Amino acid sequence: MSEQMKLLELVEKRKIVPVVKLDDAKDAVPLCGALCEGGLPVAEITFRTEAAEESIRRASKAFPDMLIGAGTIVNTEQAKRAADAGAKFLVTPGFSRKVTEFAIENSLLIFPGTCTPTEIMAALEYDLNIVKFFPAKQYGGLDTIKALSAPFPSVRFMPTGGVSAANLQEFLAYKKIIACGGSWMVKDVYIKEGRFAEITRLTKEAVELAG
Ligand code: 3PG
């Protein structure tokens, strides 16, 4: 089994991918520690801040067994920085041929962002049949995923955007959903105020809900 397949199995097993935004790399280790303590050793650290690359580097070093990836990757320069920092997977908000090709050439697991049939077809042209569905809630949520599953029976989705403790189980109950992404347990305010115990509590709750 390829390294990518093994990582994919882990994502599927964990069922939830916390989407994290870190303004300060000093928070990376406590944040990842809080997720691990909550029973969810997975983090998508987004390139929405300057601290992303260093955060991935520090967290990957401190938690080598944790599934730490990079999110909000919008170009190959970020993809390269993320990979060099130790990211085990890449997530893009939309579909980018350049980033997808970079990931494939470098044997990196990628969840390309899609929300239309056209974007899914673009992903399938690269033999990628596991895609992020973003922004999930705003683009019709589970109903849209079910409608997209009809013409694309081989495709599995990682809905992200608007997922919360209130609708997690509903999403996960649909067999075409491999995992859900979301920030509800790692909200900015908890990180900024150092409320890592709260992150652990919400993570535990999410893990229980995911079952
Ligand atoms: C993302 O970009 O993937 C999201 O910001 C996560 O969405 P959420 O904040 O609604 O969970």
CA-CA-CA-CA torsion sign (18, 24, 25, 27): negative
Separation of CA 39 and ligand 1 centre (Å): 20
Q: Tell me, what's the pLDDT at 1?
A: 80
Which residues, 6+ apart, have CB-to-CB distance to 91 below 8 Å?
A: 17, 44, 69, 70, 71, 72, 73, 110, 111, 113, 132, 160, 181
Identify the residue whose C-alpha is closest to ligand 1 atom 7: 161
> What is residue 159's predicted lDDT score, i.e. its pLDDT?
98
- CA 58-86-134 angle, to 5 degrees, is 100
Q: Which residues pair with 133 in a beta bridge?
A: 114, 159
Could you give the CA distance from residue 211 to residue 203 in angstroms, rounded to a whole number? 12
* CB-CB contact of 204 with 185 (8 Å): no
Q: Which residues of the chain have pLDDT under 50?
A: none
Test site for ligand 1: of 183, 189, 202, most ligand atoms within 8 A of the Cβ: 183
Atom of ligand 1 nearest to the CA of 21: 5
Residue 41 near ligand 1, beta carbon < 6 Å: no
Provide the CB-side half-sphere exposure for 87 (13 A, CA). Answer: 32
Ligand 1 contacts CB of residue 113 (under 6 A)? no
Q: What number does CATH give the domain 3-110+164-204?
A: 3.20.20.70
Amino acid in position 174:
Y
What are the start-end ranges of the H helices in 42-195?
A: 52-62, 76-85, 97-105, 117-125, 141-149, 168-172, 188-192
Residue 82 in contact with residue 53, Cβ under 8 Å?
A: yes
- Ligand 1: atom nearest CA of 44 is 3
Going from the Cα of 163 to the center of ligand 1, the distance in angstroms, rounded, reads 8
